[in-house]
Amino acid sequence: MHPGLLLVNLGSPASPTTQDVKTYLQEFLSDPSVIEMPAALWQPLLRGIILPTRSWRSATFYQDSWLPAGSPLIVYSEKICEQVQADLPDWDVRLAMTYGQPDIGETLQAMVADGCEQPIVLPLFPQYTQSTHGGIHRQVEATGLPHTFIDHFYDNATYIQLLAAKVWESYQQHDFDAVIFSYHSIPTAMVRHGDPYQKECEATTAAVLAQLPELPADKVVTAYQSKFGPMPWLKPYLRNELMQLVELGKRNVLIATPSFVVDCLETLEEDYVQNYQTFKSSGGDRFELVPPMNTDPQFSQLLADLAVQKWEVRAHATT
């Protein structure tokens, strides 16, 4: 028997074609962890209106950001997995996706069959929220296999140091009027029902500021992006914040995206294209993003260290 680590990210369509994007969106938007509306009400709306109108549009976005090796989210996640495996040569380190392939349940079963004892499951989301972690928990628990979860790492000192270093390196490149920490939004109803995500996002921003005393706190804004559907989501919305900053004369902005550890549709298309266009058309000048962790070997080492620490704590608890 040997230790095992399953890294999990959100997932991606198999290709940037309309049909594959539709298949992916149907799985994603049918997850009750993401959409809390009763299925009897939601599914007719999803299948009759949302998928037919959204799939082809999303496919064009994926086509714009697609890499020769595939989806950026998949490509970078695979590289992270390879680096973590190199950091943990005695472990079995694998990657799975909440939606699409590789499948969580199938991958976990294969790991156990190959001799992994109670694999550790580590979602590649620093902050916990039902909308990302809920589907992972459900799929893992459906296997009935022993496992251990690491639910978040937003408060890990090394993670904060890495994030702060990236923010500071980008901030020093130009004279920015504002620094926006933009997190993926979630429905406000989830927060009212006890989801800790908003608190963890705000804590992430505060922890980074504590590491960067030379970054003026009055320049820093926490915002949320990627709203979907008509229901209220966490505010302020990034797009509205960008337009408001320009109105206030703040035309040079730097955006950090701490809830995205790798480049994906949200950073490459939503931010670099759509939000950039909104900002520029409103009269903004400089619009730059802090690069995500992507394939930074220090981030991969952090993930390896988190797994080892969890393994040691569990081993100590059972002796």
Please name the residues in contact with 49: beta carbons below 8 A apart, sequence gap of 6 or more: none
Q: Is 174 annotated as a binding residue?
A: no
Kind of pairing, strands 148-149 and 92-99?
A: unpaired
Whole-number Å distance between alpha carbons of 83 and 261: 15
Whole-number Å distance between alpha carbons of 85 and 92: 7
Give percent helix, percent strand, percent coil of the chain, each to the nearest 5. 50, 15, 35
- Residue at token pair 């266009």: 277
Name the nearest CA neighbour of 220 among 209, 207, 236, 204: 209
Both tokens assigned to 160: 């904060």
Q: How far is CA 49 from each of CA 22, 27, 57, 58, 184, rounded to the nearest angstrom?
A: 12, 16, 13, 14, 24
Q: Which SS3 state, helix, strand or coil, does residue 184 take?
A: strand
Q: Is 266 annotated as a binding residue?
A: yes
Contact 59, 16 (CB under 8 A): yes
For residue 237, list its beta bridge partners. 224
Q: Which SS3 state, helix, strand or coil, does residue 122 take?
A: strand
Strands (E), the chain: 4-11, 92-99, 120-123, 148-149, 178-184, 220-225, 252-256, 286-289
For residue 318, which phi and psi values (nearest 5 degrees)? -100, 0
Per the annotation, binding residues are 184, 266
Per the annotation, binding residues for Fe(2+) are 184, 266
